[in-house]
Amino acid sequence: MSVAYIRDLPGITSLALGCETAGQVKENAALIGVKAISPAGTDAIRALGKRVPIQEAMDRILGKK
């Protein structure tokens, strides 16, 4: 879902997805072809993003909180 969300944002023309194995390359290639998220789904994701400030989210990811 995250790949579809980012892929379909206005202005996005390409994605760089990391991989270490041939299997991951295949998995990532398959993600590019997933169905688009509905407008309601996109709105829901945006609403969730507004609830947690980006710095707080990054701090959690990096184990700072």
pLDDT of residue 50: 82
Q: Yes or no: say if 44 and 52 are a contact pair by the CB < 8 Å rule.
A: no
Low-confidence ranges of the chain (pLDDT < 50): none
pLDDT of residue 59: 85
Token pair 């194995």: residue:
21
pLDDT of residue 27: 94
pLDDT of residue 65: 67
Query: Domain coordinates of the chain in residue numbers?
Result: 1-34, 39-65
